[in-house]
Chains A and B, each alone.
Chain A
Amino acid sequence: MEITSAQFKKVASQKLADKKVQAALAHAKGKFVVARAKAIEELDNFEDIRRAAADVRDHCLANLDQYLEQWERNATAAGTIVHWVESAEEMNRTVLDIATSNHVRKVIKSKSMLGEETGMNEYLERGGIDVRETDLGEYIIQQAKEHPSHIIAPATHKSKDDIATLFAERHQRPRLDDIEELTHEAREILRPHFLDADMGITGANFLVAETGSTMIVTNEGNGRMTTTMPRIHVAISSIEKCIPTLEDLSLLMRLLARSATGQSISNYLSVTTGPKRDGDSDGPDEFHVILVDIGRTRVLGSDLRPALRCIRCGACMNHCPVYQNIGGHAYGWVYPGPIGSVLTPAYVGLEKAIDLPNAATFCNQCGVACPVKIPLPDLMRKLREKQTERKLTPAGQRVGMRVWAWLASRPTLYAWATRIVARLGKLAGGKQGLVHRLPLAGAEWTRGRDLPAPRGKTFREIYAARNRS
């Protein structure tokens, strides 16, 4: 997928001024947060489960080579054809090769963020394959030729009216005005494709080493269709999704849907082990799993390693005040919100996503909501440090910080300088006590809000006065 993270500030400003986007965000705001809060109340030991889940994910990562090899042995024994690939291009080529060597013309696809990373749909389409997204949100986005703005609710930036107009145009049918009718129209349009597609492509929520299985969750049932109806099934999965046992899967399942949508379990969990067996009444003749690195091993060896625990629930973005106001597109790549602010620089390069680690208030709502305890603000802070080390921050900011550091390490001078600023600030604030425009880098800060003016005395002056009285 094209990376537009470098335009974060520009796109974020556009989204803030876009009435439609703001209305869609306002409509969604808080709904997932409230649902999650209710859902985790059902678990009287939620924090224990969360800690155990983080430990299990760390344990997986620390022994990833052994678990992947064990997974491959079991998957191969069940008849799964396993491919290992290092790059996005290699992954796309492998999928296309499987398709062309099996004379595949039509593919039905269940949602995969990894597929978004590699631009797989476009690649297959260029190779002459008809690819149909089947998750309703992804289908809407594909019809509109856009990208997802949320990892579990991809079309959350679009209103019912947008979708009604889109469907009327794309389906060549009368315009509908009802969400239920729109959903059922998409069902009707997609049903024949489920029945006659040659190949199904899914992602994988997890790989289970104990059994060599892949596992996906869906609410719509498109995942079951995609893994069962076509004669070929291809699952793409990045390597860090491998977990040890079915018990570990059960532990993580108590967290995933609750953290994502506030459901106690997703509607459908499908655990797939190999292709159709002798005598089975359904299932694909061939089952391929493509294990993908693209950047994971690099992150594993870096200080951003805890980000690989991620189970893709979306709780961090749902709880993020920045995401809630600008939506997902400004982040400019596959993963929005706090996890995107870490994964995007990690996978595509910090210099291409310079603003993302700064697009945070560090309120730590994301860190508190994360079901596997990824310390997201800490990771963003590490990226900020790297920006400074590598001189990627603006020159003015670097000079400013140096001046401040010089001043702050001279207590007498610092006290004198801050006394002047406190007094000048009080004057600048006028009767309202608000500063409307700051000089230099502060101008950006006051563009959208006022700064409460200093009251004329520094903290140290007030503290000293209190001690005297």
Chain B
Amino acid sequence: MSAKENILARIRSANAMHAAAGDVSFTPSERLSAHPRGPMPTMQWDALERFKACSIAAASTVDELSTRADIPAAVARYLKQNNLPMSGVCWPEFGDLDWHGAGLEMQPRPAAGDDKVGVTGSFCALAETGTLVLLSGESQAATTSLLPETHIAVISTSRVVVSMEDVWELMREEIGELPRQVNFVSGPSRTADIEMTLVYGAHGPFRVHVLLLDE
């Protein structure tokens, strides 16, 4: 018998000794096709306001723009204010913007180890926890939000959803299946592994700046 058969046989004989336990309102196949939600906490806040507040609580910063063309100026303003390098990389979807006009050098390619600024979009954003939802794909390099010290994410206000369950629902509707990787990002990389003291920039970005686009 293979290891798989042995393990499954042991699970079955162990479970045969115990009466069915836990949530029995769905059989496994029903549960897999209906994917029922568990009890949800009360979420009576305004999703956009909640997203902003939670982003800030997660140590991100937030700026609000009214048109897509304002993105380069907003990025330049943020980088200048924080004394950061005025060059970096962006997802190809932002390659057409007038970065030069804002004094920036932004290349539409995946990030390498020494790129300092990465500009990405976001599939959607999660109000509950102030979280960006980034998907892997052809033109959505994961490195852009991971390797640079500064991550700037552009998200349309219409893509802010309430709960994590809503994210899955949106993905089922719009994509049908999961991409190779879904990353939930809530603020800059951090650690408290030395004397429980919080430090930002453990391995990923030191800072996350969110540009909320209300078109």
Interface residues in chain A, defined as those with a beta carbon under 8 Å from any beta carbon in chain B:
24, 27-28, 31, 42-46, 48-49, 52-70, 84-86, 90, 134-137, 140, 153-156, 158-160, 163, 179-180, 182-184, 187, 190-192, 194-195, 209-211, 213, 219-222, 224-225, 227-229, 239, 244-251, 253-254, 261, 264-277, 279-283, 291, 293, 297-298, 300-301, 305
Contact = CB atoms under 8 A, between A and B. Distances in A.
Q: Which among A28, A191, A244 has the highest number of chain B CB atoms within 10 Å?
A: A244
A221 B202 contact: yes
A117 to B, nearest CB: 16
B88 interface: no
Given A135-B193, A281-B138, A187 B181 contact: no
A61 B21 contact: yes
A228 B143 contact: yes
B178 A273 contact: yes
B32 to A, nearest CB: 5
B6 interface: yes
B179 interface: yes
28 contacts: A45-B42, A55-B23, A59-B31, A62-B18, A65-B8, A66-B28, A86-B3, A160-B194, A163-B194, A179-B199, A183-B193, A183-B194, A183-B199, A194-B203, A211-B177, A211-B178, A224-B204, A229-B143, A264-B54, A265-B129, A267-B58, A267-B188, A268-B184, A270-B181, A272-B181, A273-B181, A280-B180, A297-B14
A297 B24 CA distance: 21
A55 B25 CA distance: 10
Contacts of B178: 211, 213, 271, 273
Nearest to A194: B203
Interface residues of B, number: 80
A264 to B, nearest CB: 5
B183 A224 contact: yes
Interface of B: 2-4, 6-8, 10-15, 17-18, 20-24, 27-29, 31-32, 35-42, 54, 57-58, 110, 113, 128-129, 131, 136-143, 146, 163-165, 168, 177-197, 199, 201-205
Contact of B201 (A184, A245, A254): A184
A158 B195 CA distance: 8
Chain B contact residues, majority secondary structure: loop
B14 A58 contact: no
Given A265-B184, A267-B186, A282-B141, A277 B202 contact: no
A178 B90 CA distance: 34
B32 A187 contact: no
